[in-house]
Amino acid sequence: MNSLAIGITVTLCAVISLIWRHHHSSQKHGVTPIANLCEDGIDEQSTNVKVPVVLSVVLFTTTLLVYSQLGHFNGWNKGVVDSNIDYLITAEINKNAKKVSEQPSNEIALLNLAQSYVDGGLYSESVQTFDTLLKLTGDDASIIGMKANAMYYRDNREMSLDIDLVIARALALDEFEPQSRLLLATHAYLNGEYEAAIEQWQKLLESDRQNFNRASINNAILRAEQKIANRSVAASE
């Protein structure tokens, strides 16, 4: 969330700096088109300065207004229900729902529908769709892991007993099931349980799977280890 705001601020400052640099460069080389249009009694230097000032204010104000409408500062990077689903996601949900309606036993269609519900923040609907899919596939560790993730975000990132049982079911079928391991690691990290998070990530790295980003997991482990080190330093002071 902070990185988004910082990125926008840095970009905005860079653009405004370019405006002022261009203004000073024009002044240095004697290019003053605005001054040529000034009537008697108007301070040319003041008029020239007004141009970049106005441009800077307009740019800043416009960016702020657009960001307030589209930036979703408070909701960025949060697994919560979004009542204002993007129309493209809505179209995808409708397309997948129509496919499932036409072919209720189509496992791929059901999986696509469940995933599009997740994309739209409709986690309850996603869980229900995963349940329907599991009735067709039987116990499938990957699908059960995805269901556990949908349940987790449906419950506002609370790890309930029901979710624990679903995760245990997935890991009983496949001890390296990525969705379940990553969910356990993420929840532990968010709650300051860095040792537990590292344990889950390292367990996942023990597998020979290639369907997850190993570099990202190694970076996450390094961050967690740094958190542990910082906590130890703070405790010793």
pLDDT tens track for 170-210: 999 999 999 999 999 999 999 999 999 999 999 999 988 87
Average pLDDT in the chain: 81
Lowest mean pLDDT among 70-84, 97-111, 211-225: 70-84
Q: In the chain, what is the greatest distance between 2 CA atoms, to the nearest angstrom?
A: 86
Token couple for 220: 């996450």
Cα distances (Å, whole numbers) of residue 84 to 65, 70, 94, 121: 19, 11, 15, 9
Token couple for 73: 């500062």
Reply yes or no on domain 87-236 having CATH 1.25.40.10: yes
> To 10 degrees, what angle do helices 141-154 and 178-190 make?
30
Domains in the chain: boundaries: 2-75, 87-236
Overall pTM > 0.75: no
What is the share, in percent, of the chain residues with pLDDT greater than 90?
56
Token couple for 106: 């189509």
Q: What is the mean pLDDT of residues 86-104?
A: 92
